[in-house]
Amino acid sequence: MQNTVYIMGIFSRSALNKKPNDSTRLIITTFLGIVFGFLIGVSFPSLSVSKLNFASGLLPTIDLSYMGENKLGISTHSVSNSSSNSTTSSSAKLNDTSKIWIPSNPRGAERLPPGIIVAESDFNLRRLWGKPSEDLTNIPKYLVTFTVGYNQRHNIDACVKKFSANFTILLFHYDGRVSEWDQFEWSRQAIHVSARKQTKWWYAKRFLHPYIVASYDYIFIWDEDLGVEHFNAEEYIKLVKKHGLELSQPGLEPNKGLTWQMTKRRGDQEVHKTTTEKPGWCTDPHVPPCAAFVEIMAPVFSRDAWRCVWYMIQPAHEKIGVVDSQWIVHQRVPSLGNQVEQEHHFYYFISVSERCRKEWTMFQNRVASAENEYFKKLGTMRSNSTAH
């Protein structure tokens, strides 16, 4: 019992000896903090929330109740002196949400100030260091894309060398082999997108949105098996601008796998926009395949034309043509067919062609259905308007 009391006694004496000192320190520290805060307040009497760049003393807050309509609501609450008439007036204006509703902004950004909206982008590479304004020493004006497999690397190397520093190079890899392309110096500055066993239009729809390529005057969407010995990209651009072509392609060598007369190179002129096809092939000389027609192997779109084509709409036929004085050779290498699954490999050409026909039929059906639905609604609207 004595030992127990002794231990407790030692503990109690120790606690009593320390407690006054700790309490004193706490009281002094608190008092000094209060005095320091008071002095700061007295020293800066003119400091107010409005000096912190909050518009008229108002703090924006998110009103989540507005989210039901997929719109972002912003309400405002005054934090300045309520006795101020000017603040009250400003508060009333900003609390009127109709004053900050900008219907011309993109959907979802209606309540942002228009000056902050930047809907467009590009493929220009940026550094991870330094001043952002010094990132780009050269801003390309044109974009060229190739859908590629590694087996065609040497042909693509020859093609890329035909395009100057004015062109951004974008490669779509259908075989998944990307890192091996670093053997080419230009590849390290190119943009690489990899998704196995897809066509170039699959990539184009997903990665070439009009807002992404808006900074480029012209967009080349080319195959990997083109011979470019007689092609110069800068001269091609000059001719396209000279003749006002929105959608174009280089002329094709007549003796190398020619399918359509429209895309056949003519040696006596710079550009042609119409042709004469086999009897019975054209119901109208101003429609495909006698005019308004280029093939899908090497099309070149202006910015405006691509914006239309991305939504499956063709531009006017007067602005579609073939550039004869800058021409290419279609080598017809069935490299994409080699990506067909092994059990169908023997019939790869038939398999891929059949898939193309099926998708083309589906597209035609979609267009016909969309047109019928549009005219049906249009007729209903007219009927309703006549009834009223």
Q: What are phi and psi of 89, to 5 degrees?
A: -65, -45
Whether 250 contacts 328, CB under 8 Å: yes
State both tokens at 285: 């000389």
List of E strands, 180-307: 191-194, 218-222, 226-227, 247-252, 271-272, 300-302
What is the residue-level pLDDT of the chain in tens, covering all 388 positions?
444 333 333 333 334 344 456 666 666 666 666 656 655 554 544 444 333 343 433 334 333 333 333 433 333 333 344 444 555 555 555 455 455 577 888 888 888 777 778 888 999 998 888 888 888 889 999 999 999 999 999 999 999 999 999 999 999 999 999 999 999 999 999 999 999 999 899 999 999 999 999 999 999 999 999 999 999 999 999 999 999 999 999 999 877 667 788 999 998 999 999 998 888 888 888 888 889 889 999 999 999 999 989 987 546 666 788 888 888 888 767 666 566 655 555 566 677 777 778 878 887 887 788 778 878 887 877 777 776 6
Entry field: residues in the chain: 388
Q: Alpha-carbon distance 215 to 208, whole Å?
A: 12
Q: Alpha-carbon distance 36 to 39, whole Å?
A: 5
State both tokens at 90: 């400003």
Q: How many helices (H) and strands (E) does the chain have?
A: 7, 11
Q: Which of 137, 200, 213 is nearest to 173 (CA)?
A: 200
Q: Is the pTM of this model over 0.85?
A: no
Q: Alpha-carbon distance 131 to 153, whole Å?
A: 35
Give the residue carrying structure tokens 């017809």. Answer: 332
Burial of 171: CB neighbours in 10 Å, binned 0-12, 13-18, 19+: buried
